[in-house]
Structure formats: C-alpha cells, structure tokens
Amino acid sequence: MKVSITVNGKSFNHDVEARDLLVFYLRDTLRLTGTHVGCDTSSCGACTVHLDGHAVKSCTVLTAQADGRSITTIEGMADGDNLHPLQEGFREEHGLQCGFCTPGMIMVAADLLERNPNPSEHEIREALEGNYCRCTGYHNIIRAIQYAASHAVAA
C-alpha cells in the first residue's frame, strides 16, 4: 500500500506492506537510526517518536497507520546546529551513559514538557514509566529534564 508521511518536516511517499511497523520504516527505509529497537515488545520505550505531536512507541504503530500524519524523531529535535534544550540538558546533566535509551527518553520528556512545562520530579518519573534505562539509575535523566524545563522548553 502507498503511504504519504511527513517526517521531521519532510514529506515521504513509499509503498509499504500493510504489516510493516513504523519503527522499521523510520530506520530501514528513511535511515533515521536514532529511533532504536530495544525489545520488540513495547516495554522499553527506545523507539518512542512523536506522532502528530504525541509520544508513541513506534514498534506498536503500523506504518500504514501513519499515512497522512506527521512524525518527529530524535533527528528532528535540534534546530540546525542548535541542540534542543532537552538534548542540551542530557549533555549538561550527564543524563546518559550508553545512550541507547536517550532518544526515547527525550521524546517522552518533550511530550511531557509540551503538556506540563514545569513538572514535579514525581510527574517526570511518572512520564518516564514506560521507558527503561539500564545504565543511569534515572537520577541524572530527571535532572536533565528539569534543566530543560528551567530553560523554558516547549517541544
């Protein structure tokens, strides 16, 4: 089937199989490899992207379901050479170690900050509930999101 999808502001038209998952379309067809495949079961959140402005796990969305819609991946978060405040926060607050979970964490955090520009630590932890990090213990991730919030982030 033919799909027309806007990804990071650019329009794409491709023929896809009805059963193809969005995460593989982004990675394999568009070569946007910042969206990670971590578990294949929707448990880890490494594949999180924004679909029409809302965080979704792209391993749970068929590419066909994204037809006519807009997607933002981690590659679309920076403004040219200027990092998004969440990316800056992760750098400044050492919110990553191996970095595998970082794109998904940033995408979930951007969705949270869009809805709630000044979340409490509890609200941040609640928002991250579906995203796993096996390295950091989350403390620096929380601080990175707080950093972004204090720098007036709206995704």
Q: What is the pLDDT of residue 41?
A: 83
Q: What pLDDT, on a 0 to 100 scale, did the predictor assign at position 38?
A: 87
pLDDT at 82: 92
Do 22 and 66 meet the contact criterion of CB atoms below 8 Å apart? yes
* Res 68: pLDDT: 98
Below-50 pLDDT ranges, the chain: 153-155
Which structural domains are found in the chain, ordered by start?
2-75 (3.10.20.30), 85-150 (1.10.150.120)
| pLDDT of res. 104 | 95
pLDDT score at 122: 97
The two three-digit tokens of residue 33, written as one number: 């490899």
